[in-house]
Amino acid sequence: MKEKSVKQNIGICKFCGKEKKLIKAHIIPRHFHLNYENETYAAINSKTGNWKPCKTGTYDKNILCADCDGTIIKRFEDEAYRILLNDIYNFAEYKYNQNILYHLTEKDFDYMLFRKFFISVLWRASISKAEDFSNINLGPYEDIALKILENDIEKDNLFKILIFKFPRNMDNNSIVYLSKIKIKHETYCLCMAGYYIYIFINEKNIPFDVIKYYGEFFLRKENLYILESPIFYQKHCEHLNTIWASSGKLYSYLKKKFEKYGHI
């Protein structure tokens, strides 16, 4: 009996530019969805705020080949996973009233790989046609992001990263999304794995207040500072409550999770 042929998805990989078999490439890697094998997540549409339940996050089967996704980009993801989900607790430098400051020096992390992880997530969302990321559009910075990922340029004044951490074992840590936020010019926030990350596209457009209070916390080659704050977590829960209260199913889902922590 003649075996049925498997249809392959052949197309141009957006990273290497070659015609290859394309794979289901996750925009936000599934390992940054906590307990991703057992829990259902709220996939948030970046433009409308609507949501849908999913298991492992949104993927796009038309942007990357297996070689680029599983070899080159995976190196960025591995470094971010190592730091954010494995090693971070080894670097608690300062504790005060449940606030914890984590500090890594240049010998503790690979700046280039770590920075490229966040750029790669934003770049994937920008090139993707997935509806969940329809409001993510880097415009002229899309090609610049790719050149940074390919090592063609560095552009340290672009894609400035500021990282905050939520306390461990909080239910809100399972919420995952990437969205544009209303701060001067192009700014995005990435919420995943119990972290809230700001990505400012251009250094010159970072608001003065952010520089004043958090200027030393921006990711640099020499230092990585991450602030964990239960107050920041609570404010984030209140922000979610404000935005999504009109979405009945999601609001009910969040309410059940947050009630025991007294945030709603």
Name the pTM for this structure: 0.86
Q: How many residues does the chain have?
A: 264
Q: How far apart are CA 98 and CA 222, in angstroms?
A: 26
Of 20 and 34, more confident: 20
What's the pLDDT at 181?
A: 81
Of 136 and 35, more confident: 136
Distance from the Cα of residue 164 to its chain's centroid:
12
Query: Domain residues for 219?
Result: 10-259
Distance from the Cα of residue 216 to its chain's centroid:
21
Q: Are 92 and 133 in contact (CB under 8 A)?
A: no
The answer to the question of residue 206 being in a domain is: yes
Beta strands in the chain (DSSP E): 10-12, 19-21, 25-26, 41-44, 51-54, 59-60, 92-96, 99-105, 158-165, 177-180, 187-192, 195-202, 223-228
The answer to the question of residue 156 being in a domain is: yes
CA dihedral (151, 155, 159, 161) in degrees, to 10, reads: 90
Q: CA–CA distance from 174 to each of 23, 191, 254 (Å)? A: 25, 9, 11
The answer to the question of residue 46 being in a domain is: yes
Q: CA–CA distance from 256 to each of 7, 98, 136, 187 (Å)? A: 43, 24, 30, 31
- What residues contact residue 242 under an 8 Å CB cut-off, 6+ apart? none
Residue 245 pLDDT class (50, 70, 90 cuts):
low
The answer to the question of residue 2 being in a domain is: no
Number of domains, the chain: 1
The answer to the question of residue 5 being in a domain is: no
Parallel/antiparallel/unpaired status of strands 223-228 and 158-165: parallel
The answer to the question of residue 226 being in a domain is: yes
Amino acid found at 112: M
The answer to the question of residue 4 being in a domain is: no
- pLDDT exceeds 60 at position 263: no
The answer to the question of residue 95 being in a domain is: yes
- What residues contact residue 116 under an 8 Å CB cut-off, 6+ apart? 76, 148, 149
For residue 72, what are its two tokens? 């080159």
Q: For all residues of the chain together, what is the average pLDDT?
A: 84
Q: Specify the long-range contacts of residues 109-115, CB closer than 8 Å, at least 24 apart.
A: 109/79, 109/83, 109/224, 110/79, 111/219, 111/220, 111/221, 111/224, 113/75, 113/76, 113/78, 113/79, 113/80, 114/76, 114/79, 114/80, 114/83, 114/219, 114/224, 115/159, 115/161, 115/219
pLDDT digits 0-9 by tens, 206-236: 989 999 999 999 999 999 999 999 888 888 7
- pLDDT exceeds 90 at position 50: no
